[in-house]
Chains A and B, each alone.
Chain A
Amino acid sequence: MHRIEVRLKHDFPDAKGLGLVKDIHDLGITAVTDIRVVDIYWLDADLTSAELELICRSLLADPVTQEYQYDQDSWGGDAYHIVEVAYNAGVADPVEATIMKAVRDLGIEKAKAVRTAKRYLIELKADSYQLKAISLEVICNRLLVNPIIQHVVEQKSVIFPENPQYRFKLEWVNILKSTEEALSKIKQQFGFSDDEFRAIIDYFHRRGQDPTDVELEALAQTWSEHCVHKTFKGRIKFGDITVDNLLRSTIMKATEELNKPWCLSVFEDNAGVIDFDGFWALCFKVETHNHPSAVEPYGGAATGIGGVVRDIMGTGLGAKPIVNTDVFCFGPPDFSYDRLPRGVLHPRRIFKGVRAGVADYGNRLGIPTLNGAILFDERYVANPLVFCGTVGLLPRKISQRGQQSSGDLVVLAGGKTGRDGIHGVTFASEQLTEESTAVSYTSVQIGDPIVEKKLIDALLQARNRGLYSRITDCGGGGLSSAVGEMAAETGVHVYLDRVPLKYTGLSYTEIWISESQERMVLAVPPNCVEELLTLFADNDVEATVIGEFTNDRRLQLFYHEELVCDLNMEFLHHGRPQLRAEAVWEKPGHDEPDFAPPQDLTKSLLQVLGAWNVCSKEWVIRQYDHEVQGGSVLKPLVGKNNDGPGDAAIIKPLPDSKMGVIVSNGINAKYGEIDPYWMAASAIDESLRQIIAVGGNLKRVALLDNFCWGNTSRPDMLGALVRAAQACHDMSVVYETPFISGKDSLNNEFQFEGKVISVPHTLLISAIGVMEDVSRAISMDFKQAGDLIYLVGTTNNELGGSEYFRLNGFIGNNVPEVNPHEAKELLDKLSKATEKGLVKACHDLSEGGLGVAVAEMAFAGGLGVIVHLKSVPLGEPIDREDFILFSESNARFLVEVAPENGVEFEKMMAGIELAAIGQVTDAETLEIYGLNSRKVVDTSIQKLKDAWQRPIRW
């Protein structure tokens, strides 16, 4: 074994190290002045010094900036503190495969394995002669080491541990002649409900034989909440009504009622599909990856992106991913360390880790991240939410899910299989506890984006050559879920010993349920298989025939000729008894705010702009590549200095067509604390407002739902879910925007000191719209002094759940409601006025209401503005100026119109409540006059922008 060390030469600054110093200062540890990072490589090989020189000089060390040494005493003896961090045994080293390849390229074939580590040399201020041991521990725990995947290297550490060998033994689980007590244990171990387990015992009684372990695992995976959504499909008693299958009777029902001809594939494939231009189709899916991101933010979030991209690859006969969208919910970045539950990572670290994971993975795949949102709430501290979405483009004629024939081969393509993510699905469906981070390491998957990128490239070629009859992704539940579902109507034989493994030691059961990343399953007609395997080999992508589809509707798994699983597909897929549950919902009563209206609203406005939920997310957005593929028309950051908050993103996916795709999202969990029905309605309205604001229309807009809820076995939790789903139906049918796909993640709660902390009811609505001509797009920044500013839509006393109330310590009760009929009319008319070219800038009013929207438009455009609150069209009398300024009533827009077009704009908007409330100026100040024409806000746009940018200027 050889150990190589590489570091920057002394006179080159270490940017990564300096970034760490900044993070350490953020922890309140100011003694640290400098950190130099040394890259460590261990090569498992017997090399000559000439070979080592070659590897160092030509590969590992940069000839200009770096220096190296090998097989010598480690660098850093003179540093105050040295910490060396390596990956745990069993965790795939992310760069091992590349280094092995690169070393072979140098003509050196004998390296058997490679491991890497980082060695941190920490320097201190001259006067703080010693960093206290406790501080060093804090730095390690909070920044340098995540014990789930890493450890601090010590003398005794074994760098290349032996992998255990696996010896086959078929495991039977005794349930036919078992005691009640033992049965109850088995039921719990596999996570079955009483009803489910009874059905399973009956099945195996009829078969007359105990199940094997892999048979029970297959059932547990197939019947898990994550895979089958049993709550949404359950029979729910809700007050006087019984809801038989919540999904079918609300969200899917709206789609059926609307029956849009452009909906090509809804709720049956890995993503929903709509028609784009008659030749091309668009598919869209948003997934959650919450629990893994809580324990290992970087890897968890990266695999979230990887998973949803594979959903897109696995839609129809395969789509090309063209846009990513990411929405995160975290605890507040300034959350006190003292209050942090044991075993929980700090929100700031989760935030940074998730951001890095999504960016590193998404950027490497070459998919632009164009849209997103970040919400903060203390109840997300231990249970962050990570929503990853992807849009795909595919020919319309292959937009339907494929169908294999019996005799088609099962081909597993992409990454090798390891222990990653074993029991991930069950983990995702369970509650987190203080111990989760200690026990859940196998559930965290480590991704390799380049393997996935190669897989995408190869798959698109195979698709275009028509080499497979069906495709699906290997995601949650692994082969069990992917192959099991594909073969539901046919049957399948799978030879588990043929699955390529990352390392030895996996049992047949582990192979079947592993959730290793970057894998897809194809059904390949026998006459195509040779061409397909050659194509994959040429692209340096692994592809292996692991079985064949049959026609006996049985799931039969073999390990070296031994039958280890033999289940009836009918039972596996339709034998699960429907879940029965009770739901209740009662409108909660919150305290009504009783604070006095401030005289000067400037301070309030600055505060609202600087709130975590409102402030600029530029720091995050810039670290995503939003330009790759060259399609962006409206970017996430817009305006005079490319730093204003755009409403929705637009891309033009085809170089020779002027048609565009608009992507937006709506989410506001705070309203759910008052009424989940209006929360859902508001989220839908918000996502649609953004589409209208950028110049789109509602003619062809489809929606996705993503529910993240607490434990729905509690009737009140389930009641809230039912109400939100009902709103989805009611809004969808009126706006004529069908749902095409969705996902739910339940049990998002955390046990802490005997208390259960649930995430707020969180519904993300993602919208995708087709735009006929991207040259009609408009941005939200003010364009020209002298233009009129219209407020379109009525303002009500609706501050319940608002950002303004929250800053004043209240929730309130008047949650923003939606009249979808009126809102639809407003949205339709406004989109017509925009199409006519009458609208120069448009911004929807959301968190922070009128005050935030007008400030954002002003500083994004580098122009001033004068606004009169007394001109604001009110739906009910409001005597408080602060309430008018910060109300979050739905279906409202600020619209900039040239003075000469005012009359025509009003004519086109006839029947809609609106008023010119002010004018754009070149004074670079924001002036707002109150109900008595007294000035209530007077400040410079630079000050407003600064307040908005400062919180996350990291």
Chain B
Amino acid sequence: MGKVRTLILLAPGTNCDVETEVAFQQAGAEVSPVHIGELIRREKRLSDYHIMVIPGGFTYGDDISAGKVLANELRLKLGEDIERFVEKGGLILGICNGFQVLVKAGILPELSNTASSSLTLSVNDSGRFECRWVYLSVNPESPCVFTKGIAHMYLPVAHGEGKVVVPRDIGLARGLSHLNAVLYYSDEHGNTNAGYPYNPNGSVGNIAGICDSSGRIFGLMPHPERHIRGTQHPQWTRRGAEDYGDGFQVFLNAVEWAIRA
């Protein structure tokens, strides 16, 4: 069979596209950066791809709220294409700003045609943008196809609006029960209740990433594409450099799943 075709969605303010492209290429995919305008003008078609990625950045400046404007654009102008893409078994990955877009477009926590009212991403508790490395524990029960076989990861976050928030009025436990949590912020020992700065933004339930019930739509605040080689690890000069970084398996999993599907 041919190569796994991956679409990297570009919009004004996207800025993690190149490293995301590199990660998928090294994982064996054929990658096409596609501007949202090309999809809207029907010059390119989502249905020609196996994987759609919304990379990190500050789309439309994150004006109003992070990812909101691109989310509306996707929902209103490409909503049906996305629905068909998911129906046909496509994979969707949203990293950082891409996660914010997926949530605000109503693609996560479950694909629907309105913005989610059961989850949002809001301003970090610290009130500021922060770039730091975080320890992540993977929920072993998660159906997420991107994290199969991964137990822990060490990845950087870099965001100002990454706090996972659920509605207050239905109670936290019920709010969380709607979410398929994939990744939890933890400390170096895997303890998921370690507080700031281990949980860098105050996310409820220490949630760093979620997927839909099929496990094929995955959004996360940390950046796996920024840790695909050993010398990206902040302490490689102390521990020696591994060949691959912790995030690389996410891309391998996606490509392998798409090949099998």
Query: Interface of A with B (CB < 8 Å)?
Result: 9, 11-13, 15-16, 18-19, 58-60, 62-65, 94-95, 98-99, 101-102, 105-107, 359, 363-366, 448-450, 453-454, 457, 538-540, 621-635, 637-640, 642, 652, 655, 774-775, 777-779, 781, 783, 861
Total A-B pairs, Cβ < 8 A: 173
CA distance A637 to B11 in the complex (A): 31
CA distance A9 to B116 in the complex (A): 17
Could you tell me if A635 and B69 are in contact, using CB atoms closer than 8 angstroms?
Answer: no
Residue of A nearest to B225 (CB): A630
Contacts of B130 in A (CB 8 A): 622-623
Residue of B nearest to A360 (CB): B129
Residue of A nearest to B75 (CB): A58
Could you tell me if B123 and A16 are in contact, using CB atoms closer than 8 angstroms?
Answer: yes
Could you tell me if B123 and A627 are in contact, using CB atoms closer than 8 angstroms?
Answer: no
CA distance A775 to B230 in the complex (A): 10
Could you tell me if A655 and B22 are in contact, using CB atoms closer than 8 angstroms?
Answer: yes
Contacts of A94 in B (CB 8 A): 61, 63
Could you tell me if A781 and B12 are in contact, using CB atoms closer than 8 angstroms?
Answer: no
Q: A531: shortest Cβ distance to chain B, in Å?
A: 16
Partner of A538, one of B19, B35, B68, B69: B35
Q: Provided the pairs A64-B119, A450-B60 are in contact, do residues A11 and B168 lie with their beta carbons within 8 angstroms? A: yes
**Which stretch in B84-92, B213-221, B234-242 binds the other chain?**
B234-242
Could you tell me if B132 and A642 are in contact, using CB atoms closer than 8 angstroms?
Answer: yes
In the complex, B167 has a CB within 8 A of chain A: yes
Could you tell me if B15 and A365 are in contact, using CB atoms closer than 8 angstroms?
Answer: yes
Contacts of A364 in B (CB 8 A): 13, 15, 58, 61-62
Residue of A nearest to B55 (CB): A366
Could you tell me if B168 and A638 are in contact, using CB atoms closer than 8 angstroms?
Answer: no
Q: Provided the pairs A364-B15, A366-B15, A630-B225 are in contact, do residues A15 and B127 lie with their beta carbons within 8 angstroms? A: yes
In the complex, B166 has a CB within 8 A of chain A: yes
In the complex, B254 has a CB within 8 A of chain A: no
CA distance A359 to B58 in the complex (A): 13
CA distance A40 to B38 in the complex (A): 34
Contacts of A450 in B (CB 8 A): 12-13, 58, 60-61
Return 27 A-B CB contacts under 8 Å, by A number.
A12-B165, A12-B168, A15-B126, A59-B64, A64-B116, A64-B119, A94-B63, A95-B64, A98-B64, A105-B72, A105-B73, A359-B129, A366-B16, A453-B13, A453-B15, A621-B131, A622-B130, A627-B156, A627-B223, A628-B15, A628-B158, A629-B18, A630-B19, A631-B19, A639-B238, A642-B235, A775-B231
Q: Provided the pairs A102-B72, A540-B37 are in contact, do residues A95 and B61 lie with their beta carbons within 8 angstroms? A: yes
CA distance A616 to B65 in the complex (A): 31
CA distance A95 to B63 in the complex (A): 6
Could you tell me if A625 and B72 are in contact, using CB atoms closer than 8 angstroms?
Answer: no
Could you tell me if A627 and B64 are in contact, using CB atoms closer than 8 angstroms?
Answer: no
Could you tell me if B117 and A64 are in contact, using CB atoms closer than 8 angstroms?
Answer: yes
Q: Provided the pairs A95-B63, A365-B15 are in contact, do residues A59 and B129 lie with their beta carbons within 8 angstroms? A: no
Contacts of A640 in B (CB 8 A): 235, 238
Contacts of B118 in A (CB 8 A): 64
Contacts of A60 in B (CB 8 A): 64
* 13 further A-B pairs in the complex, CB-CB below 8 A; given A63-B117, A628-B15, A783-B238: A12-B168, A16-B127, A59-B68, A364-B61, A540-B37, A623-B128, A627-B223, A631-B19, A635-B234, A638-B235, A640-B238, A642-B234, A775-B241
Contacts of B168 in A (CB 8 A): 9, 11-12
In the complex, B120 has a CB within 8 A of chain A: yes
Contacts of B58 in A (CB 8 A): 363-364, 449-450
Could you tell me if A65 and B165 are in contact, using CB atoms closer than 8 angstroms?
Answer: yes
Q: Provided the pairs A450-B13, A652-B231, A783-B238 are in contact, do residues A622 and B72 lie with their beta carbons within 8 angstroms? A: no
Contacts of B10 in A (CB 8 A): 457
Contacts of A15 in B (CB 8 A): 123-127
Could you tell me if B60 and A623 are in contact, using CB atoms closer than 8 angstroms?
Answer: no
Q: B74: shortest Cβ distance to chain A, in Å?
A: 10
Could you tell me if A19 and B128 are in contact, using CB atoms closer than 8 angstroms?
Answer: yes
Contacts of A637 in B (CB 8 A): 234
Contacts of A621 in B (CB 8 A): 131
Chain A to chain B: the 9 pairs with minimum beta-carbon distance, closest first: A366-B15, A630-B19, A19-B127, A98-B63, A64-B120, A15-B127, A779-B237, A95-B63, A63-B117
Could you tell me if B158 and A62 are in contact, using CB atoms closer than 8 angstroms?
Answer: no
Could you tell me if A63 and B120 are in contact, using CB atoms closer than 8 angstroms?
Answer: yes
Could you tell me if A778 and B69 are in contact, using CB atoms closer than 8 angstroms?
Answer: no
In the complex, B115 has a CB within 8 A of chain A: yes
CA distance A99 to B115 in the complex (A): 18
Q: Provided the pairs A450-B60, A626-B131, A783-B238 are in contact, do residues A63 and B12 lie with their beta carbons within 8 angstroms? A: no
Q: Provided the pairs A59-B68, A64-B118, A642-B234 are in contact, do residues A449 and B61 lie with their beta carbons within 8 angstroms? A: yes
CA distance A62 to B121 in the complex (A): 9
Contacts of B152 in A (CB 8 A): none
Contacts of B194 in A (CB 8 A): none
CA distance A563 to B41 in the complex (A): 42
Could you tell me if B120 and A65 are in contact, using CB atoms closer than 8 angstroms?
Answer: yes
CA distance A359 to B125 in the complex (A): 18
Residue of A nearest to B16 (CB): A628
Partner of B116, one of A63, A624, A642, A777: A63
Contacts of B167 in A (CB 8 A): 64
Q: A117: shortest Cβ distance to chain B, in Å?
A: 14
Contacts of B232 in A (CB 8 A): 627, 630, 632-633
Interface residues of B in 211-261 (CB under 8 A from A): 223, 225-226, 228, 231-232, 234-235, 237-238, 241
Could you tell me if A12 and B122 are in contact, using CB atoms closer than 8 angstroms?
Answer: yes
Could you tell me if B125 and A448 are in contact, using CB atoms closer than 8 angstroms?
Answer: no
Q: B82: shortest Cβ distance to chain A, in Å?
A: 16
Residue of B nearest to A654 (CB): B22
